[in-house]
Amino acid sequence: MTSRVLLVEDNEVNSYLIRFVLERAGYAVQVATNGLEGIEAARLERPDLILMDIGMPVMDGYEATERLKADPGLSGVPVVALSAHAMEHEKERAYQAGCVAHIEKPIDMTTFIRQVQTHLRPLAL
């Protein structure tokens, strides 16, 4: 069974690149372009992992993550922050919102898939 990843990313180039890398690694990927769309997509699709950009229009990744974690049906889905903001206080804010990890952008292609895999629960057969 294929793991489902929801990518919440407003930058088209980043979205294309991340989606391409994930799909080549065998993941099913859905994309949302802001936090509000991300919440709606998560409720409909029930992904195994959410990759959440932090700086987005409409609703930022912090608020979207807080709302996902407050939803009993989605609170167990791991959320990984994606951000070019690598200051320690920004990472801490992502963790406080409910993210399980922080991946810096631009993503490092040599380690990205391994970083994603560490946050996916093993799938039941």
Note the pLDDT tens digit of each residue in 18-38: 999 999 999 999 999 999 999
Strands, E assignment, 10-78 = 28-32, 49-53
C-beta pairs of 21-24 under 8 Å, 24+ apart in sequence = 21/107, 21/109, 21/112, 21/113, 22/113, 22/116
| Token representation of residue 88 | 């320690």
Note the pLDDT tens digit of each residue in 102-116: 999 999 988 999 999
Q: Inform me whether the pLDDT recorded for 85 exceeds 80.
A: no
| Token representation of residue 98 | 């409910």
Q: How far apart are CA 46 and CA 44, in angstroms?
A: 6
Q: Domain spanning 4-117: which superfamily?
A: Response regulator (3.40.50.2300)
pTM, rounded to two decimals? 0.94
- 39 pLDDT band, cuts 50/70/90, is very high
**Quick one: DSSP state of residue 27?**
-
pLDDT-wise least confident of 1-5, 42-46, 64-68, 85-89: 85-89
